Chain A
Amino acid sequence: MTQNAEHVLDHFELFRGPEYQQMLANKKALFENPHDPAEVERIREWAKTPEYREKNFAREALTVNPAKACQPLGAVFVAVGFEGTLPFVHGSQGCVAYYRSHLSRHFKEPSSCVSSSMTEDAAVFGGLNNMIDGLANTYNMYKPKMIAVSTTCMAEVIGDDLNAFIKTAKEKGSVPNEYDVPFAHTPAFVGSHVTGYDNALKGILEHFWDGKAGTAPKLERKENDKINFIGGFDGYTVGNIREIKRIFELMGIEYTILADNSDVFDTPTDGEFRMYDGGTTLEDAANAIHAKATISMQQYCTEKTLPFIQGHGHEVAAFNHPVGVSATDDFLMTLSRISGKPIAKALEQERGRLVDAMADSSAHIHGKKFAIYGDPDLCYGLASFLLELGAEPTHVLSTNGNKHWAEKMEALFASSPFGKNCHAYPGKDLWHMRSLLFTEPVDFLIGNTYGKYLERDTGTPLIRIGFPVFDRHHHHRYPVWGYQGGMNVLVKILDKIFDEIDKNTNVPAKTDYSFDIIR
């Protein structure tokens, strides 16, 4: 196989040619000091055993392939959900390059965010000057309506005080006195990106509701009929938030989506780059205090925000990334109860269609075993949907899930006959999952892009649901919430199941008797 101008060979073909294969074999044998292949094989097999699993689960210090990121990522995710808002992360600049890349790789969209670019001198003297200059530059260059500040771990370790710094920067004229600069401390060594989401959202609401860090009177709540909606950190934010808006509109409920980043992560290609697009208006963010209730779709993304809101007199309700029939039922009934509006006929029909689809297909899912990993709420939502389908969510693992989450998961398992042999694994990583998949195999794995390594190593087919999904395109445009979202998840699962059956029945004259045209 040699390169050819007419049919250009890509990396996946080129290096399989004999010239390259020979070259790579020589390199290995002569220069790489390789282990004896038999020894590599022995260790490879050993790493599949219960004995290895035991050692693996005995780990106390090392984390391998975790399924979580750090706080500021969640803070950036929240900030871009407000109209004309630029996230400003106080600390090292490399972090911001990482958040931007990470979000761009998932959404295939621009991701705008600035850093205060603290370096060694700032580590010694503190980052006040970086804040003063940084806010002035950001304000002048990018003309944001709001700058939402969070922190990297560097600024947290040296103890920079955002409240005082922002105040000083305003005194020095970096931005006008009345300009909105909400902030949140988001140390990377506490919690994960979902914690950062929580802190940042709380910081913004606190800013608008509780007197803008002492620079304005606190807002006085005058209850109205609106409902606030919080999505949480969500890789499907584009599709999900649009679906939620449709549901609210179908039911005739007045609503405010807080941190609505569904447009900024889905801007058109029409000749114009929109650094800002859509988002919760600052006015709506402030007026959200008057809402009668606030709903969070992800309990573990709003552990501080929701009590804060409740403290302002709202009724609050938290869900766990509801997917499927019952979880959506609960969500809609809560909406209906709070708003006093009946569940729309159109939604009833959609419910019926989802039940219809599940009835049509359940024979293919029933009794199948699944492993799931991801953020705590997503895991819960998917596991409950699988139980509805008669499937068994055998291993449910969340690196950023805590003990409380695990108890909640176990209660969910206990609520269904299909949950009998299922277990939750809080605080574990994907190397633990690898041992689980080898020692207690399942039929399918649900997780983000990194699950492809588990799929390769263990042969467990991967259904990509989660964040990030880097290696498949546009999934984030389709909702997983609401009955229609449930339909999308169902189809995704079914497609993989059928693809696997076909893949396993396609050897002519050997397995092809099951290669059916009708399933």
Chain B
Amino acid sequence: MSLATTESVAEIKARNKQLIDEVLKVYPEKTAKRRAKHLNVHEAGKSDCGVKSNLKSIPGVMTIRGCAYAGSKGVVWGPIKDMIHISHGPVGCGQYSWAARRNYYIGTTGIDTFVTMQFTSDFQEKDIVFGGDKKLAKIIDEIQELFPLNHGITIQSECPIGLIGDDIEAVSKVKSKEYDGKTIVPVRCEGFRGVSQSLGHHIANDAVRDWIFDKVNPEAKPAFEPTPYDVAIIGDYNIGGDAWSSRILLEEMGLRVIAQWSGDGSLAELEATPKAKLNVLHCYRSMNYISRHMEEKFGIPWCEYNFFGPSKIAESLRKIASFFDDKIKEGAERVIAKYQPLMDAVIAKYRPRLEGKTVMLFVGGLRPRHVIGAYEDLGMEVVGTGYEFGHNDDYQRTAQHYVKDGTLIYDDVTGYEFERFVEKIQPDLVGSGIKEKYVFQKMGVPFRQMHSWDYSGPYHGYDGFAIFARDMDMAINSPIWKKTKAPWKDAPRPSLMAAE
């Protein structure tokens, strides 16, 4: 059903350019001008995708983006399991993000672990009028009394905090002192800051730097004996267990993972990370800041990797191994060889069912490029992609390492654009988020949520790839998609483009 497979690259480019022109027509002039900069057709050989990014979303267009609070509490801090994260402000933000991201962890929830709980200061009008600092101080006392095994507290600011002039830093310092130097981290991630989740990631990274790293006593005895093979996993949120199916590979190749940021992570792991010999970075977008900081301050090198699909996994294992001695290099080869039969079996089973199928993606800050290799391992082709909150360096990486000539690129896509693009291109699969899922399924287009793995996963690592392949097959080849048209209705037009 895909058009892409039967068309030349030149034809695809012309069609995509025409599509962009068409969608821009709906906007008032000023908006069309702004949106035009975010849409493009990729030209092979270019150093980036030719789109502007990380700019303000336009009012009223139905952006898919979230906010800085979502980037800090929802993404970076929320998964740190032994700390209590207070959603500071009105009740909603914490409520809507409560346990919604499937950051898996091991622990006794409510006793020594708190990830799937919603702690909030539930601001009332009087807190807005008189300020919430006293309430915050009391909340910290109540947490200490009722949840004595917590290892630390973070204060995740919602919009009003920065607007009413609360001094959460002062409260944090006073309370930290009162509780024997307890880790209490104020985070200025008010939702109106920046243009998307992205600034929230950055603010959260900076809070780790300022309120955790800077308070660790460098003279203190390490909790464990260092080895030359100590690494930290940075930027894996353990969605459906992703960090676990990654960690196991690093350990099998002879490395020792001393910290996970932040899926199934703990305060002790954050504190120990400056002892790592290498930081391996999966989600570049959300955690490059702290990786760069550790490089500058502690001299720890960092290395991006991609654990989606066997091609990228093997490439990444070798890249990580290149930072170490022959023992680890051999370890990487051993791991690749060990899983080869499983990968062969998975591809033998699923590739024939998925060969030539086309995919359009729209995800956050990493997956719009990172998952492309995994689809290609299954013989599939990504014909359109874009970032919800990527920056130019993401589009550079995308252009230089991932997308093909002629791929449609859409930054901070609007609901309207995405719908039109999919309607015209008719991909075999769309991979995006919960807000998009049902829109496309109604249109009869198979869909997988690529933030939450549609409640499946893990998708990282070799174990994850088997699940990924199974899920994509399940989505695309579900018999239900043949039933969307009642048999007494006319058969769908074979090609919407041709009909125009």
Contact = CB atoms under 8 A, between A and B. Distances in A.
Contacts of B443: 271-273
Contact of A64 (B119, B148, B224): B119
Given A55-B145, A97-B70, A188-B92, A110 B121 contact: no
A502 to B, nearest CB: 27
Contact of A104 (B116, B272, B438): B438
B138 to A, nearest CB: 4
Interface stretch (A113-121, A302-310, A353-361, A488-496): A113-121
B61 interface: yes
A509 interface: no
Contacts of A141: 26-27, 60-62, 414, 416
A242 interface: no
B435 A100 contact: yes
Contact of A117 (B59, B100, B267, B462): B59
Contacts of A133: 30-31, 58-60
Given A23-B244, A133-B60, A457 B110 contact: yes
Given A15-B244, A133-B31, A117 B467 contact: no
A30 B66 contact: no
B146 A63 contact: no
Interface residues of B, number: 125
Contact of B118 (A64, A102, A119, A137): A64
Contacts of A43: 111-112, 148-149
B163 A110 contact: no
B274 to A, nearest CB: 14
B95 interface: yes
Contact of B269 (A10, A32, A157): A32
Interface stretch (A34-42, A207-215, A510-518): A34-42
Contacts of B164: 157
Contacts of A93: 57, 63, 65-67
A32 B61 contact: no
A50 interface: no
Contacts of B414: 141
A123 B138 contact: no
Contacts of B122: 63, 66
Interface string A1-13: 0111110111100
Contact of B60 (A4, A120, A123, A134): A134
Contact of B59 (A44, A97, A115): A115
A70 B191 CA distance: 15
Contact of B90 (A47, A52, A142, A189): A189
Contact of B257 (A27, A152, A153): A27
Interface string B242-276: 00110110010000011110001011110010000
B386 interface: no
Contacts of B148: 43
Interface residues of A, number: 107
A470 B492 CA distance: 33
B26 A273 contact: no
Contacts of B342: 2-5
A108 B95 CA distance: 18
A498 interface: no
B16 interface: no
Nearest to A130: B59
B435 A111 contact: yes
Contacts of B59: 114-118, 130-131, 133-134, 137
A140 interface: yes
Contacts of B57: 93, 117
B424 interface: no
A271 B194 contact: no
Interface string B35-56: 0000000000000000000001
B179 interface: no
B146 A269 contact: no
Contacts of A134: 59-60
Interface in A53-73: 55-56, 59-66, 68-70, 72-73
Contacts of B416: 141-142
B125 A105 contact: no
B304 to A, nearest CB: 23
A97 B67 contact: yes
Contacts of B70: 94, 97-98
B128 interface: yes
Given A55-B146, A190-B124, A63 B91 contact: yes
A137 B159 contact: no
B143 A137 contact: no
B9 to A, nearest CB: 29
B486 A61 contact: no
Contact of B142 (A61, A94, A122): A61
B109 A137 contact: no
A19 B126 CA distance: 53
B434 to A, nearest CB: 5
A362 B257 CA distance: 58
A119 B259 CA distance: 35
Given A69-B95, A192-B91, A10 B456 contact: yes
B415 to A, nearest CB: 7
A431 B68 CA distance: 28
A431 to B, nearest CB: 8
The 4 lowest CB-CB distance pairs between A and B, nearest first, are A94-B67, A70-B92, A134-B59, A134-B60
18 contacts: A5-B345, A31-B272, A33-B266, A73-B96, A97-B65, A102-B96, A104-B438, A112-B415, A114-B61, A115-B59, A116-B60, A117-B56, A119-B195, A140-B28, A140-B31, A189-B90, A189-B160, A274-B442
Given A3-B466, A141-B27, 13 more contacts: A3-B463, A15-B104, A27-B260, A31-B257, A64-B119, A66-B91, A69-B95, A92-B192, A133-B59, A153-B159, A189-B127, A270-B444, A274-B442
